[in-house]
Amino acid sequence: MKQRKKQPVLTRKAILAAAGVEFSRHGYSGSGLIPIVERAELTKGALFHHFQDKRALAAAWISEELAAAMQILWIGPLENISSLDSLRALCRTRCLEVRPGDATSTLVALAAETAAADAVLAAALESVFTAWRTAISGLIERGKSASWIHRSIQPATEAEFFVSLFSGFAVTTQCSPDEAARRNCATALEAYLETLRTH
């Protein structure tokens, strides 16, 4: 099969990837378009050919790249969990490896920065949050059916709580990124997870 010299889909992906790096490091307002296209080794012509404006670029990155990253980090693993111990292991890992610029932190940071003022970005971000929450509440329902999660636990409420909790970890860790804080979070988290257990 003959191949085009340049595949527009690759160009688009390159811009999205570069934009992701900038957004993760400097937030939405703090990211300029020139640093983005320079990082992608392209020009603004390419950028504005694929995206209507800066906001559309950010929205596309959120719903495509960021959502995919959250899928790998959270949704996929959560779907394969079938015991409270494995849930605790996953949470411990995710908690200890939270770092500025990773998918979870960026999701939270972008939400905190833009969601109140920009409905378009808020909608894109919200759908990522919703996918996350849905994975949690699904897991809780499976756990209740299999009797390794207490029957009094309400899936939707608990999912809301769980996502808020990790979002908070992402923020406070960003502010004081020492190992002790992360370990504190992990410890308190395990104590919380125990409250879900059948007793």
**Which of 18, 25, 39, 49 contacts DNA by CB under 7 A?**
49
Distance, CA of 9 to CA of 73 (rounded, Å) = 24
Q: Is 199 in the site for DNA (CB under 7 A)?
A: no
Nearest 10 degrees: Cα torsion 52, 57, 62, 63: 30
CB atoms within 10 A of CB 10: 10
Q: Which does 61 bind (CB under 5 to 8 A by kind): DNA, a second copy, none?
A: none
Please choose, out of 47-55, 59-67, 75-83, 159-167, the segment that lies near DNA by the rule CB under 7 A.
47-55
Q: Is 46 in the site for DNA (CB under 7 A)?
A: yes
| CB 72 within 8 Å of CB 178 | no
Q: Is 188 in the site for a second copy (CB under 8 A)?
A: yes
Nearest 10 degrees: Cα torsion 27, 33, 37, 42: 160
Distance, CA of 100 to CA of 112 (rounded, Å) = 14
| CB 107 within 8 Å of CB 128 | yes
Q: How far is the CB of 62 from a second copy (least distance, A)?
A: 11
Q: How far is the CB of 45 from a second copy (least distance, A)?
A: 26
For tokens 């999205």, name the residue.
Answer: 16
Q: Is 27 in the site for DNA (CB under 7 A)?
A: no
Q: Which residues bind DNA (CB under 7 A)?
A: 2, 4-8, 10-12, 31-35, 42-46, 48-50, 53-55
Site residues for a second copy per CB under 8 A: 25-27, 29-30, 100-101, 105, 108-109, 111-117, 122, 125-126, 129, 154, 156-158, 160-161, 163-172, 174-177, 181, 184-185, 187-189, 191-192, 195
